[in-house]
Every structure is written in C-alpha cells, then in structure tokens.
Amino acid sequence: MAEETRTGGCLCGAVRYRLRGEPFKSGLCHCADCRKVTGSSFLAYADWRPDQFSVEGDFETYDGRSFCRQCGSRLFNLGPTGAEIYLGTLDDAPNAIKPQVEGWCRRREPWLPVVSGLPMYPGDP
C-alpha cells in the first residue's frame, strides 16, 4: 500500500509543502494565540515528524509560526518534534483528518457544536 502524500501551501503559491504519511497528532485549539493567528475562533491542526515534511519557497517565521512573505498566509509551526500544519492550508478539502483532542476549551465559543467522543481540555492537552 502506497504511503499517503498531501500537499499544501499559501494563497499566492509562493510557498509549497509536502507531507508524507499520517500525522502523529491532530486537534482543535481555542487558545488566544491560535485565535489571533487564524483570525478565527479556533485552529484546526495536525503534526507530522520532521522527516515527513518538506517545504519550498520563501517564508518568514515569527515566534515559531511561519507565513508566506508575499501574501501573508499563515502556514505552519516548525519545531524539534516536527511541523504543525494549519489544516486550512492543505490543497485537498475535506482532508479527512479528524481531530484527536480539543484544547483550551475554556476559551471555546459556546455556539460551536461538540465533536462527539473528542476529549476536551480546559488548557493544553
């Protein structure tokens, strides 16, 4: 069976990334930083190991969060454990990556529907 490959990138196409295999973690985050970074009520993300992630193009990083220098699209966080991808930047939607955890639920908007069976944490999971 072939390994799953996903691609994604920014709005203007100047930054492109490739993901091999499945993420080791996925979730939703309602923390203040994720809300500010996305301009939305939460961030949907998934994490891949360093050897599963490759990127091409010119991007900037601020406080661990990377974005396209040209169009400003927020893309991913790069760290020692790998790449945390903002799922909205994947090329294919829907992408079938189901969240495994939901964090910072004390900041969660009350109008959001609950994802059945998803563990919810008041702060970091």
pLDDT one-digit tens code per residue, 107-116:
999 999 999 9
pLDDT one-digit tens code per residue, 31-89:
999 999 999 999 999 999 999 999 999 999 999 999 999 999 999 999 999 999 999 99
- CB-CB contact of 108 with 121 (8 Å): no
Alpha carbon distance 100, 83 (integer Å): 17
Please give the domain boundaries of the chain with CATH numbers for all domains: 5-91 (2.170.150.70)
